[in-house]
Structure 1
């Protein structure tokens, strides 16, 4: 049931947004073989459900600098720890709905 609610929210979010978000833009500008507008759009929709704009900017920076993600994950700052928990939820959501 929870997956159905999230799937419906993804469809609504996708229908309302005609412009690429920061996550989708960062995804599209990577050199990975599996990159596609469809996949990056789905990842953006998962981000819209789980991360606020500020968190999305931080997460988007990981596409250019993966080491920054490692630094954030290992940080002792409470704000980084809280962000990392939200980021993990984003990753789980994206994986479940985008079939990563």
Structure 2
């Protein structure tokens, strides 16, 4: 099974879509991450985040760029709030892959 945080990494490697988006938590994390990306890709991912995640969810998801182990911890958590977040995050990642991939 492909993990959603790996989907974001894959999207970062193949995306070349999107106009200029206002820098948000996801965009900033994408730009600073160790994964080479470009402005268009990070902007596209941010646009999807703006459509699918709340500001709090975006800030939480942004942490996955630098600490992917956090994503695994959330995914495996037994807390209802983590499960709810994970479902929203997974939908975001799938949408970002569909809209931002070449």
**Greater relative contact order: 1 or 2 (C-alpha under 8 angstroms, separation 6 or more)?**
2
**What's the CA shift for 1:64?**
1.3
* Aligned counterparts of 2:29 and 2:39: Cα–Cα separation in 1: 11
Greater percentage in helix: 1
Structure 2, unaligned runs of 5 or more: 1-17
Residues 67-92 of structure 1: CA distance to partner in whole angstroms, max 9, x if unpaired? 00000000000000000000010011
Of 15, 20, 23, 2:23 maps to: 20
| TM-score between the two structures when normalised by the length of structure 1 | 0.79
Whichever of the two has the greater Rg, that structure is 1
**What's the CA shift for 1:38?**
0.2
Structure 1, unaligned runs of 5 or more: 1-10
1:7-86 equivalences in 2 (<5 Å): 17=21, 19-33=22-36, 35-86=37-88
* C-alpha RMSD over aligned residues: 1.7
* Aligned counterparts of 2:90 and 2:33: Cα–Cα separation in 1: 20
The structure 1 segments of at least 4 consecutive aligned residues displaced by more than 4 Å after TM superposition are: none
**What's the CA shift for 1:54?**
0.4
**What's the CA shift for 1:32?**
1.3
* Aligned counterparts of 1:71 and 1:39: Cα–Cα separation in 2: 26
Q: Which residue of 2 aligns with 1:6?
A: none
